[in-house]
Structure 1
């Protein structure tokens, strides 16, 4: 019996996708704020850090100074704690809406069509109640903590704009001045948090088993996808390490599928044909306005590729036996997958999809794109640029709050410097992708994430060189394409 296949570059690629997803969540807000508000926000990393610490109010309330007095245990709260968490969540939602335009925003002025003031206010109040209740009842779920972090950082970010950055912009402060101001905000947030929590390291508490669609899933235990290339075809086996089993042959096989080489050829032709067909069809339907489509030709092709590969791969799969000796296969590798990290990728994709729909299908998104191109011209044409500015900061804050919690889950620790260490990769992703293109920034984020994790796997260097490797890739790309992968002016 042979030993388990080793992890290698394919596994590093998978890890890089997780890293790139978190970088993208932070870099999107960084790019939005710079392209519309023209603030090189060096405090953005601290917004991620604040989000991670806010999640502790829900996940481990007993570890939070002062608030711990309302806790009945490390991961439980009394009635007073429930009330405080309910108010934090509910009032946070109302504060976000208020920042969009004051009392008129609470009455629905930010809606696409002006509703009756009473109806809008009741809807907003119900939304606040639902969010507040979800946060309070969700103790000690990390997902309820993520919701609270998104809401409160979604308030903190626009407040820094309203109280600080706008004052300097009204005085026509230069870019260098705004940079120094953002560094000052960064220090205030970081050392203010450190003054409350101390400089020690904390961690989130996660239950090892979660109920998903009626099945118990060990979210903190690794799943192993063993991949074999043989003379007759490809074999894929899923093994579950469970709560106690080891990573090797002690793990439990879940299923094994195989594909002969003729089947692989047929599968490849079908997937490529469907993908190209979807691209051509969507491009023809979109006419000359492909960039204005929510699902453009490229996105239609990507979606078709993924869906067809999964569906056809499942339908054409056959039964195979895992090779027993090294002579039975040409190549073998292992993907070490944690369900928790896959949830992180899924959350990031859902957030990016939501932003894409907002930018393409709403009046706010149209106003944001116009303001990004030319803020002065957008103001002249009647766009409420103040509301656009606030909405931009709110979105950046929400993304940063979520990214901070996801970063804390990935690192398995929460420290006051976690956001600072991710700041350079975020800036690298923004520059690499094209500073005024959100889609370029997303691509740049995954390039940086892959460079960080694949680079130190391939090169004979340690984990400390992950960020320098990403910047080497950045310099190489910019030497070839100075405007970035997508570019934008």
Structure 2
């Protein structure tokens, strides 16, 4: 029997959608929370990041640069020089935003260091990143790095030349919104003027080496789950060219699953309860050892159920469609948000960002360089926008001029739903992503066109019950 996709598949797709929304909403929330800019141009910054990657991935399709690209994915020596210069200048420009020439001389490091040494380190880092981009052309990884560097240097210019000027005039929030709309149109039609309005595509080698073989990043895999009176069964299927191949079959009895669950609960209790005997070795070591034990239990249970069979009948059966690309997007989003969490909670920059968010005037009085904080916020927003735009273009297999704009409403929904804070925006983005996919699944007759309206129905319902958002006021 071959099960059909159901609720679990909608949840999985919603997590992928939520990860993409979160990459955009995180930067949007930072800018809104700290810089007080409802940046309606943020969606178009995602589009800019997606198109910037074409300069490396497909240089011959970029107007002007095609003269330096003799082939479809080839670059001449002169073209390599252009990419190297843009990458190196982008790195130095990003650092310059943190405090001008003083930043280049290492004054933003937070430690006493020779100005000559700091400048040398910055130049070397810029040269290394430029070399990586040139040597990696036209690979997707090099394109991603180039886009991140380019937006890290250009996005803060919006703060320097536009939004700061209006903020100094103490304009109202509604007027700042209009300003951001104007910037959005300028960015969007600027991209269209340079690249044209036609649909673009990345050229990506999707087959990568893995454990002595190859894995296609975009090839769909299907996990089929069967619930029977004997236990839980699942198989892993791969569909290629209209034919299906079974890669794995596993079965787990109910008693076996109960023992595994009880073991995991016991390990969690030992790790979390300070009164347990294991607490004497220290919380960090206890957590590390517990994690190792959980991995061992999980791996043993997984391989212990391998070589199972597919049941002929089942009480319930469902299928989850997944691919290495989707898993990669989820893991990348988690890694970036984990890195941002570390910055916010464990670094001096994070403390100053939180202080500026609470009260900018008080932070300035206490000696915090609020201008550097603002520029740091815009740099981080640019990095997240670049990654989000490229992942969006890779996932949908196409790049259009409205790529980021189509995601703008879900991003704002995630930010507002979460309570206009970074952590709230992350949580709200996943709620929006799940609502978009589960809503289409749960309501018969709805097409994918209604994904965003369904998300906003959930937004209104939550805000009616909790107007401050999910984590607002926390």
**Is the structural similarity TM-score above 0.5?**
yes
Quote the Cα distance in structure 2 between the aligned partners of 1:145 and 1:176.
Answer: 37
Deviation at 1:231, TM superposition (A): 1.3
Residue aligning to 2:405: 420
Match of residue 443 from structure 1 = 427
Deviation of 1:26 (Å):
0.5
Aligned-partner Cα distance in 1 for 2:402–2:392: 12
Q: Which residue of 1 aligns with 2:127?
A: 129
Which stretch of the first structure deviates more once superposed, 208-217 or 359-368?
208-217
Q: Secondary structure at the match of 1:216?
A: strand
Deviates more, 1:136-145 or 1:363-372: 136-145
Separation in structure 1 between the aligned mates of residue 120 and residue 268 of structure 2, nearest angstrom: 46
96-105 or 60-69, larger mean C-alpha shift:
60-69
Task: State how far apart, in whole Å, the 2-side matches of 1:331 and 1:308 are.
Answer: 32
Classify 1:48/1:107 alpha carbon distance in 2 versus 1 (closer, same or farther; 3 Å).
same
Q: In the alignment, which residue of structure 2 is the partner of 1:397?
A: 382
| Contact 2:23/2:384, CA 8 A, preserved across alignment | yes
Is 1:429 equivalent to 2:422 in the alignment?
Answer: no
Report the counterpart of residue 280 of structure 2 in structure 1: none
Q: Which residue of 2 aligns with 1:207?
A: 205
1:463 to 433, 437, 448: 448
Instruction: Tell me the equivalent position of 2:33.
Output: 35
Deviation at 1:321, TM superposition (A): 3.2
Distance 1:230 1:324, change over 3 A: closer
Residues 1:148 and 1:444: Cα distance change in structure 2 (over 3 Å): same
Q: For structure 2, which runs of at least 5 residues remain unmatched after alignment?
A: 276-282
Selected match of 1:257 from 250, 272, 275: 250
Q: Does 1:332 align with 2:325?
A: no
Aligned position for 1:407: 392
Counterpart CA distance in 2 for 1:136 and 1:210 is 21
Residue aligning to 2:438:
454
Query: What CA distance in whole angstroms lies between the structure 1 residues aligned with 2:188 and 2:326?
Result: 26
1:277-356 alignment runs, 5 A limit: 277-281=270-274, 311-316=296-301, 317-319=304-306, 321-325=308-312, 328-356=313-341
Query: Residues of 1 paired with 2:321 and 2:367: CA distance?
Result: 53
Of residues 84, 94, 97, the one that matches 1:96 is: 94
Cα gap change, 1:276 to 1:202, in 2 (>3 Å): farther
* CA pair 454-261 structure 1, distance change in 2 beyond 3 A: same
Q: CA separation in 2, counterparts of 1:128 and 1:214?
A: 35
Could you tell me how far 1:273 is from its partner in structure 2? 3.6
Matched residue SS, 1:456 = helix
Q: CA deviation at 1:240?
A: 2.9
- Paired residue secondary structure (2:215): strand
Residue among 127, 135, 138 paired with 2:136: 138
- In 1: Cα distance, 2:213 partner to 2:107 partner: 45
Task: Report if the CA contact (8 A) 2:106-2:118 is conserved.
Answer: yes
Q: CA deviation at 1:324?
A: 5.0
1:253 is displaced (CA, Å) by 2.4
Give TM-score scaled by structure 1 length.
Answer: 0.90
Map of 2:238 onto structure 1: 240
Partner of 1:63: 61
Alignment match, 1:160: 158
The structural deviation recorded for 1:482 is 1.2
Q: Post-superposition shift, 1:384?
A: 0.5
Task: Report if aligned partners of 1:435, 1:488 keep a CA contact under 8 Å in 2.
Answer: no
Contact 1:25 1:399 in 2 (8 A): yes
> Is 1:361 aligned to 2:366, yes or no?
no
Residues 408 and 276 (structure 1), Cα distance of their counterparts in 2 relative to 1, 3 Å cut: farther
**CA offset digits 1:426-451 (Å, max 9, x no partner):** 00000111103x11111111000011
Q: 1:106, 1:212 → 2: CA distance?
A: 41
Q: In the superposition, relative to structure 1, how do residues 92 and 228 fare at CA in structure 2: closer, same or farther (>3 Å)?
A: same
How does 1:38-49 map onto structure 2 within 5 Å? 38-49=36-47
Contact 1:90 1:131 survives alignment (8 Å): yes
Task: Please state if 1:181 is matched with 2:179.
Answer: yes
Q: Label 1:304 to 1:190 Cα distance change in 2 as closer, same or farther (>3 A).
A: farther
Partner of 2:373: 388
Contact 2:38–2:180 (8 Å) recurs in 1:
yes
Corresponding position of 2:279: none
Q: CA RMSD in A?
A: 2.3
The separation in 1 between residues aligned to 2:294 and 2:233, in whole angstroms, is 16
Structure 1 counterpart SS, 2:99? coil
Relative to 1, partners in 2 of residues 1:245 and 1:267: Cα closer, same or farther, differing over 3 Å?
farther
Gaps of 5+ in 1: 283-292
Match of 1:110, SS state, is coil
Give, in whole Å, the separation in 1 of the partners of 2:410 and 2:59: 31
Residue among 266, 270, 273 paired with 2:263: 270
Deviation digits for residues 75-122 of structure 1, max 9, x if unmatched? Answer: 221112211111111110100000100111011111121321122112
